[in-house]
Amino acid sequence: MVSILGVGLGVAALLVVQTVMNGFGEEHRLRIRESFGDCVVIANTPIEGPDVLMARLKADPAVLSASAYTEGPALARRGAFSGVAFVRGTDPLAKDQPARQYVVAGSFDGLDDGRVILGIGLARTLRVAVGDKIELWSPVMAEQAEQGKAPLPASLEVCAIVRTGFTEVDDRAAIIPLRRFRELWSLGERAHGVTLRLKDPANAVATAARLNVGKTGLNFIPWQEIKKNFLEAIRFEKTMLFFLMFIITLVASFSIGSTLFSAVIRRTREVGVLVALGAQRWQLVGLFGVQGLLIGALGTALGFILTWGILYFREGILNLINSLFGNGDMVANVYQFSKVPLHYDTTDFVVAAAFTLIVTTVAGLVPALWAAGRKPSEAMRDV
Amino acid sequence: MSKVVLQAAGLKKSFASPNGPLAVLRAVDLVVHAGESVSIRGSSGSGKTTLLQLLGGLETPEAGEVFINHAVQGLVTPRKLLGHGVGFVFQNYQLMPELTALENVVLAAKIIGQSRVEAKARELLQLVGLGDRLRHLPSQLSGGECQRVAIARALINEPAVILADEPTGNLDETTGKEVMKLLLDVVAQRQTALVLVTHSREFAEKAGRRLVLAGGVLSPA
């Protein structure tokens, strides 16, 4: 019973960590896609006639939608507070604007040529709330000043504040209409890039490569490549945690080996009797091996149930940890997730089950081989 | 003369001791025929149990050979056919504590691959007077009853010979006599040979042939 519990806890620890890590990974991937699009089309120079390019791309069966965007740094200022804003010009009427779902104050629909949407970090830097006004200085204005002109900054009212969960986005993001951006940056009808929504985002790498064929001067970057280092870091973190949890499960398996070994030693006399009655070596090995396998199977099943239970009540467990250690809501504060994200991966469950069954069976077989190798006359003398 | 069911020739066995190898059996020869009962008497430490283990294949001799008659394969070494040609009755019964009387008897048959043996096991337990104790665990049986279960277990595979090592050693005098009578009766009834190791002169006398083991050699009593 203790062995089964040990295996169950090991399996549960492994799967809970893996499932939560998968959840974080999936959530981050989703945020990347929503923040940057499934695929981004960029060029070394601003794209001339982006409407033509968008029309061609929209005609592709793999593409759901395409929208032009512009982006560039600017100085944002309100009174004595200023910060560097990374301004994005986008179509305010587009219904699939991902920023819509990250609005924490105000309304995305209020965006027009006289208004701006700010990332929460930038809004804090500038000490502004919805309804306040800020000034935006574009690099073009600096050029104009150099030429002896006296440009006026764009005065924009904050109509919404967004929080994406990506600090680097939230601390610098400013969204204005595409038309207004082009005006402030003197871009004419050009755009810096086009974001694509794909029917099958998971297949973005292949789709991007296919779409890129024959489009000289353009770079199609799938979402997986946009934050490659970040995604690699998450994957590496998951691998390291798997390794640590693997050791925990291995320790649990050693306890099974020790328990079974004690059981075999306790039953040495009976093993001797079985041999005297004609039991073959393989029968004894099978008997104790099956015992190990059974412990592994029951432990794995218990581990699956515990995993489900822990993950089902994860919010309560997290609240308890937060209240005990006074860390506040870490998930919300650090990761900006409303709840602990989950993603069940069948492969993790299959690997955990297979690994546990193999280890527990081997843990049962080793003492069985020892017992089966003893002389029955000696074994029967043991009490 | 009936056919030979057990044949041992030139058996030697010694054990390590602080003063060097201690020879327990020097040159033991023994031939047992079908249905014959043989008692081997000797003092403690004379090597009676060791001899029985060699005859049953539980130990390997340093020299000499043992053959057991198998119904199909003829004379074979017992080690190769444990559970087939020889049935054991041990002094301390050696029953499986978690199994009932019936299961203990059935187990001996199932181990060597026989199936549908429950009816036969019931019949044997009936024969040894335990028809109403089939579902009892060894802990719920008396010493005499446990030894009866062990006798039924030894008979289940219809061995050519039963090797009994001090089968009354753990029993009181009355029960010991009852068990011994039962053992001799059932082997006679089933024409099974019996090699009985005992230090009791009284029980040894009940066997058809009586031998004494002394100085590592078997000789007629």
Q: If you compute the radius of gyration of chain B from its CA atoms, what whole number of angstroms results? A: 17
End-to-end Cα separation, chain A, in angstroms: 24
Report d(CA A55, CA A51) in Å as an integer.
Answer: 6
A275 neighbourhood in chain B, CB within 8 Å:
58, 82
Is the pLDDT assigned to residue A102 strictly greater than 60? yes
Beta bridge partners, B30, equal: B8
B190 close to B35: Cβ distance less than 8 angstroms: no
**Residue (of B156, B175, B162) closest to B102 by Cα position:** B156
CA dihedral B50, B51, B57, B60 (to 10 degrees): 70
Number of domains observed in the structure of chain B: 1
Residue A286, pLDDT score: 81
Contacts of B111 in chain A (CB under 8 A): 274, 277-279, 283
Helices (H), chain A: 2-36, 50-58, 120-126, 139-146, 167-170, 178-185, 204-212, 223-226, 228-266, 268-276, 281-312, 314-325, 330-335, 346-372, 376-381
- The two three-digit tokens of residue B144, written as one number: 């005499």
* CB distance A293 to A357 below 8 Å: yes
Residues in CB range of A26: below 8 A, 6 or more apart: A341, A343
Give the CATH number, domain containing residue B106: 3.40.50.300
Residues A27 and A376 sit within 8 Å (Cβ to Cβ) = no
Chain B residue with the nearest C-alpha to that of A270? B96
Domain that holds residue B212: 4-220
Distance of alpha carbon A332 from alpha carbon A316, whole angstroms = 14
- For the whole model, what pTM was predicted? 0.60
- The answer to whether ipTM exceeds 0.90 is no
What's the token pair of residue B79? 């080690």
Instruction: Write the residue in B81, B88, B157 that is nearest to A276 by C-beta.
Output: B88
What is the distance between the alpha carbons of residues A327 and A317, in angstroms, rounded to a whole number?
Answer: 13
Residues A212 and A192 sit within 8 Å (Cβ to Cβ): no
pLDDT in tens, A104-151: 999 988 899 999 999 999 999 999 999 999 999 988 888 888 888 878
Contact B26, B12 (CB under 8 A): yes
User: Which of A108-117, A218-227, A330-339, B134-143 is the least confident region?
Assistant: A330-339
pLDDT at A249 over 60: yes
- Any A CB within 8 A of B58 CB: yes
Percent of chain A with pLDDT strictly greater than 70: 94
B82 touches chain A (CB under 8 A): yes
Comparing CA positions, the residue from A234, A20, A192, A170 lying closest to residue A89 is A192
pLDDT digits (tens, 9 = 90+) for B164-188: 998 988 888 888 888 888 889 888 8
Cβ of A278 and B53 within 8 Å?
no
Q: Which of A270, A283, A377 sits opposite B111 (nearest CB)?
A: A283
- For chain A, the C-alpha Rg in angstroms (whole number) is 31
Test the B interface: residue of A277, A287, A381, A382 with most B CBs within 10 Å: A277
The residue type found at A49 is G
Candidate from B53, B97, B112 with C-beta closest to A278: B112
Amino acid B39: pLDDT: 94
Least confident of A7-11, A370-374, B7-11: A370-374
Q: Are B82 and A276 in contact (CB under 8 A)?
A: yes
